[in-house]
Structure 1
């Protein structure tokens, strides 16, 4: 099942739907850490027919230390949101943002986890649509309510207890920026550093300069250099479970599979018994000399 769709293929798909072809639910997930104005950006311009999805309130439950900054909403809450966006059973869903799919991948993972197929990410996001010269719309779309029925558990996931010992049996990837992994800078969480045994794998390394994903063979090479091997269980975390989903998508494009740690570091670092290590080594600054 294709993870990505390019701008030209999406345009053809949307044009075909207007001629009684298969219906496409198009969702705009404009969000970035430190930028609370996603809806304003959407209202200013978006792909025609796209419905705005608010990551902070619709793709996450209330923040709490024991579950992290962006805990997954309940199934009932997520289904209510998905119907409000106009998704029907049998629809093709395409998600995008304006930041290389760093936010849209959260929705992609959640819908896939909820049993929705097919779900695609627009490769390159809104920038790719603009670059193709396609029409943009302003204002807010008002879709008719949908009837989609969601489930849960279709994508692999781990919890904090599993994350604690994951590196002893497999590969644990940290999708945050390198400086946050090393503990040099931490803008939002109370402790700086990473989960012991985790390998630094910033999501920015999944993308080309134009915001599109690297080719599958390039992604395969990237993850193999980071330690991915067939038969080795792999899991990914980030700050709060958002950009880690981008890494899951990149791994899938490469032909690999991995589990998501939804609570991620924002959950982990609040656990008083959970160790946090700093420096460039998986087990901390002093690991290389031990």
Structure 2
């Protein structure tokens, strides 16, 4: 990020301290101001645009699978495309967010936030909301492609929405917390590749869970991206796909949500873990550790 962009971010989030003759900015207004600035900087930051466009490349990768039906009545290409929103949340949350926060810490922007009275919840909330809005746009784009090419619309849009929102919040907060382990933006980009590839590889988006060895599948089922993939795909197609694609049967509204409860619980637990890790967030590059 450029120095001017960092300065714009700092100005947007700065609140007035009581006693300085000015009215303090509420946490809500801080969040709105920061959200607006985050979206502007996202548009200006070319690397961020790459991370946003990256998941859409998997639309082309899915096309060679057309004609196959791993689940009766569901084209394999369309099934793969319906999981792209989870990949978008993973890409932006674990690749974009740590890079941006590490760069802001290097430029002492985060230190200025801390000193000027910006609430951490406002800063973290604005970042998470900006990522969520971008992921929502990508989800709509993917839905449009699937509808135009395969004539399919989400069977349970609310379940799809729940999966997208929960995984985006969890990945964004983990991305913020992850900067505790990075020294600068360059190291953040390198270090984030490992958790990104791990979570993507065992999420069921590449290889269905039912094709993995049982111990690996059991462990993978507890990961946030795996839970989210089950929510989004099951909600999109109206089939119980939480344990994999084999034997995924059509399910009614009540059956689908009952089957979704464990995955929702897993995502909530991971989000709580991410929130707890934020207490160790580093605001100053000169802090120990």
TM-score scaled to structure 1, two decimals?
A: 0.27
Question: Of Structure 1 and Structure 2, which has the larger fraction of its residues in helix?
Answer: 2
Question: Of Structure 1 and Structure 2, which has the larger fraction of its residues in strand?
Answer: 1
TM-score scaled to structure 2, two decimals?
A: 0.27
Q: Between Structure 1 and Structure 2, whose CA radius of gyration is higher?
A: 2
